[in-house]
Amino acid sequence: MTLDRPRIMGVLNVTPDSFSDGGTFVAANAALAVARAMVEDGADIVDVGGESTRPGALAIPPDEEQRRVIPVIKALAAAGVRVSVDTRNASTMAAALDAGALIINDVSGLSYDPAAAPLVARRGCPVVLMHMRGTPATMRARAVYADVAAEVVAELRGCVAAAEAAGISRDAIVLDPGVGFAKDAAQSLAVLRALPDVAALGCPLLIGVSRKSFIGVVAGEADPLRRLPGSLAAALFALSRGAAILRVHDVAETVQAVRVWQALGSG
């Protein structure tokens, strides 16, 4: 997949407790229908996740995670959909790649499971390294920075170095500053403003702002399902600051916004 134009990653949560879709898509058939619709709407990648990473969420065992995501990944891959798997567990990564996933998306930047980086190196697949501190259960308390942008850039640089030391090619790495992960609303905004500094690390950038809580804080909107306008504003801002891939829930709406943004000469 070339990154000569903005790419859209559609979010497919196969969790009973995801904050934004309430686990509506627990059945593999329903998940497949939703993913197909995303692709028809213009998604380049469908990101399948089985573990909620919302603040305070507890980890689930990898076998339960695999029970949720592997049937969905198999069905999507068989239908020709480009799938990424959103997981921190090496065993889930391996099972997902075996089921036809092409991309690993790890919110821990391959730091959660010591077996993850060697696995990704062996398989030679593209990997998204996201910035976070702690785990979803502990990250709120870790959102303490003197200079959030500089520290996120430095910590992502460390993630890239660790990945390369494990044998992962730099060409395979996509970076994500992790909006909302160990960052409060002000810190998330600061990191988005500093995206050019993250881009200067030299890897393509993936950004997830869709329905996130910083939008709720800025706009006074408690319901994640009512945060589409703010999500679009932040997505276009991220593109203008160097993002290559947008991770979104509302694919059709984002594709339309990006097309108009490009037609105006911003792309």
The answer to whether 247 is a known catalytic residue is yes
The answer to whether 82 is a known catalytic residue is no
Q: Which of residues 68-97 bind ligand HH2 (CB under 6 A)?
A: 86
- The correct pick among 50, 62, 109, 208 for binding ligand HH2 (CB under 6 A) is 208
Contact call for residues 104 and 49 (beta carbons, < 8 A): no
Task: Tell me the closest approach of the beta carbon of residue 77 to ligand HH2, in angstroms.
Answer: 20
Nearer to ligand HH2, 84 or 257 (CB): 84
Question: Interface with ligand HH2 by CB under 6 A: which range of 35-43, 45-53, 90-98, 161-169?
Answer: 45-53
Size, binding site for ligand HH2 by CB under 6 A: 20
Residue 18 in contact with ligand HH2, rule: CB under 6 A: yes
**Angle, CA of 215, 18 and 44, to the nearest 5°:** 75
Contact call for residues 178 and 129 (beta carbons, < 8 A): no
Binding mask 124-163 for ligand HH2 (x = CB under 6 A): ----x-x---------------------------------
Residue 231 in contact with ligand HH2, rule: CB under 6 A: no
Tokens standing for 79?
């239908």
- The correct pick among 7, 8, 11, 187 for binding ligand HH2 (CB under 6 A) is 11
**222 vs 245: CA distance, rounded Å:** 26
Residue 107 in contact with ligand HH2, rule: CB under 6 A: yes
Residue 34 in contact with ligand HH2, rule: CB under 6 A: no
Catalytic residue numbers, as ranges = 212, 247
- Binding residues (CB under 6 A) for ligand HH2: these are 11, 13, 18-20, 49, 52-54, 86, 105, 107, 128, 130, 176, 178-179, 206, 208, 247
